[in-house]
Structure 1
Amino acid sequence: MPRPSCRPQIVEAAVSEFHRLGYHGCSVDTITKAAGVPKGSFYNHFSGKDELAAEVVGLYQSRSAFREYEPAGDESPLTELRGRFRAVAERHRDRDFARGCLLANLGAELGGSVPRVRDAVDEAWRGWTARVADLVTRAVAAGELPGGVRPEAYARFLLDAFEGAVTRAKVERSMTPLDDFFDHAFGLVSAGGTRA
């Protein structure tokens, strides 16, 4: 009988270990020990740590609280957008926000030095940006944001500001940077200066 695949256990363990130790800080041995599988089984499933890290990025993004957020049926686009970001912030707080965002951590640690992981992180950012831009477009159409707002550029700004706040919250071990993000990113741009 064929042996069951260890791949899911390895990927799950790697999400936690990369988040805890960083890419360079954890070895294949660290990951397989955390997964409870023989080290040799790693190479039955992955060509190297970079392939595993790219898969981890995809899994992490697929489980994002931004994606999982369930808007109320009567939520306006801007309220939904704020709610989605708030859900991510709350998840960071509830799951030890001192670890920060795995995407930002890997991006900062690796830059362009591991192309496979860089490409996976870039793809994740682009997907998230597109989802934010869609909500921004809808908020502009609903009159919640000024007509001059450029959805793609504003989406990039929101993500960059949010990830910067997450990183600072990680360093300060405080939610204050995230509170500042919500006060300013949403409170200052809504139509007529009203808060979202």
Structure 2
Amino acid sequence: MNSNSGQGVSPKELSKRLNEVKISSERSNKGIKPKRKPLLPAPDLPPQLNPAKAHLYNIRRPRKAHYGFAVTSDVMVDHALRWHQGRFTREDFDRADLSDVEVICVGAAEEHLELNPEDPRLEFPLVQTPDGLRPCIAIYDSHLGSGWTLDAEKERKQIEFIRSELRLPETQEPMWYFSNCR
């Protein structure tokens, strides 16, 4: 299978991607504890980061992590421009103060990415990725285990909705990322 054909990913390509995640995870965790295995980014929350299980690993307060899609600023800007069509242009964003652009982009995401606006669940933190800090559309965070209440079907719908609204590739899966702050 060829990754360009839209039919999936070849075993060689998948192996390469998994190796890149492993390497980037090692890089993003450098200097934390040299003997500790890299924790994030990862598809599953490592038990050391789950507050309910952290005591088993002699960790008093685990680092905060978010589960969702780490995206580029361009993805956020493109999404905002689609929703504010006619009100802003990319040139407006290029000239604007960065904090104003962030407010507009996060506002568009808050308004249009929630499946149930009456019960908001999404967060929009900056997370640490192997490429540096990135905006994240987060469904869960590791410190609010009680908030992990989506059943499998609702979670799948939320993930698919975010993926389609942000025009992310179907192969991009949400992962756990360290929060920029504790």
Does the pair score TM above 0.5?
no
Q: Which has the larger radius of gyration?
A: 1
Of Structure 1 and Structure 2, the greater strand share is in 2
Higher helix share: 1
TM-score normalised according to structure 1 size: 0.27
Return the structure number with greater relative CO, CA threshold 8 A, min gap 6. Answer: 2
